[in-house]
């Protein structure tokens, strides 16, 4: 039986960092679904394809070769991870991710990955849509201010000149778009364990998730 772990939550809640660490602990393939939507946004912007151009977007996606190697996304043979957190991508990703046809194509790819490997996925609709039957589901959250501070510090470390207030505004905007989109909005799965990471360290959250998985893993494998 394949093991699957679903981690959902809003932008900046620490999903990616925590999922990578849990993946290492349990030898799981880490699938960052958010980076997949960011990759679509990146390639669409580079090719001047609007999120309103459905046919153009679908053709772009069908022509892409997307895979994960060592927890990082490889697009058409190129490691593009450094480009995915740039402000221009963050400002536009929710619009592209809200397109039903885009979500349908990426959800299909994500499910195929989970059928082939033991996986941990993080995103906005993993526990509710992509891995609805996952035995382990977690919903990570934090205050908008804390999430904006984390993103601000992350960009500063990359020597990117950013404004905290603008990041906070964008975080709140993304929260609204993600939770109000018509197709697969961001919601907590009924059977997910919610963890507020606002005042917690990364290790604290990893330990909570890891302990839960360890204590229940044998029941899942049986």
pLDDT tens profile 71-113 = 889 999 999 999 998 889 988 998 999 899 999 999 998 999 8
**Is 11 annotated as ligand-binding?**
yes
Q: Are 41 and 96 in contact (CB under 8 A)?
A: yes
**Is 9 annotated as ligand-binding?**
yes
Determine the average pLDDT of the residues in 121-129.
92
pLDDT at 161 over 90: no
**Is 77 annotated as ligand-binding?**
no
* pTM of the predicted structure, to 2 decimals: 0.81
**Is 14 annotated as ligand-binding?**
yes
**Is 15 annotated as ligand-binding?**
yes
**Is 201 annotated as ligand-binding?**
no
14: left (phi over 0), alpha (psi -120 to 50) or beta: left
User: What percent of the chain is predicted at pLDDT more than 70?
Assistant: 98
Spell out the domain ranges in the chain.
4-206
**Is 10 annotated as ligand-binding?**
yes
Domain 4-206: give its CATH superfamily: P-loop containing nucleotide triphosphate hydrolases (3.40.50.300)
């Amino acid at each position: 039986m394949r093991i699957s772990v679903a981690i959902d939550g809003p932008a900046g809640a620490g999903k990616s960092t925590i999922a990578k660490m849990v993946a290492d602990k349990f030898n799981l393939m880490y699938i960052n679904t958010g980076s997949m939507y960011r990759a679509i946004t990146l390639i669409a912007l580079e090719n001047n394809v609007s999120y309103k151009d459905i046919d153009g977007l679908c053709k772009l996606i069908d022509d892409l070769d997307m895979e994960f190697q060592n927890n990082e996304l490889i697009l058409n043979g190129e490691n593009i991870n450094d480009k995915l957190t740039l402000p221009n991508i963050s400002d536009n990703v929710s619009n592209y991710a809200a397109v039903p046809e885009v979500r349908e194509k990426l959800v299909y790819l994500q499910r195929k990955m989970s059928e082939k490997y033991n996986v941990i996925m993080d995103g906005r609709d993993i526990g509710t849509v992509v891995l609805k039957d996952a035995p382990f589901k977690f919903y990570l959250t934090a205050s908008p201010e804390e999430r904006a501070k984390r993103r601000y510090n992350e960009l500063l470390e990359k020597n990117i000149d950013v404004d905290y207030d603008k990041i906070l505004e964008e975080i709140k905007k993304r929260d609204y778009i993600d939770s109000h989109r018509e197709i697969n909005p961001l919601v907590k799965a009924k059977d997910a364990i919610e963890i507020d990471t606002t005042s917690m360290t990364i290790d604290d959250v990893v330990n909570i998730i890891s302990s839960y998985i360890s204590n229940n893993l044998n029941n899942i494998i049986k």
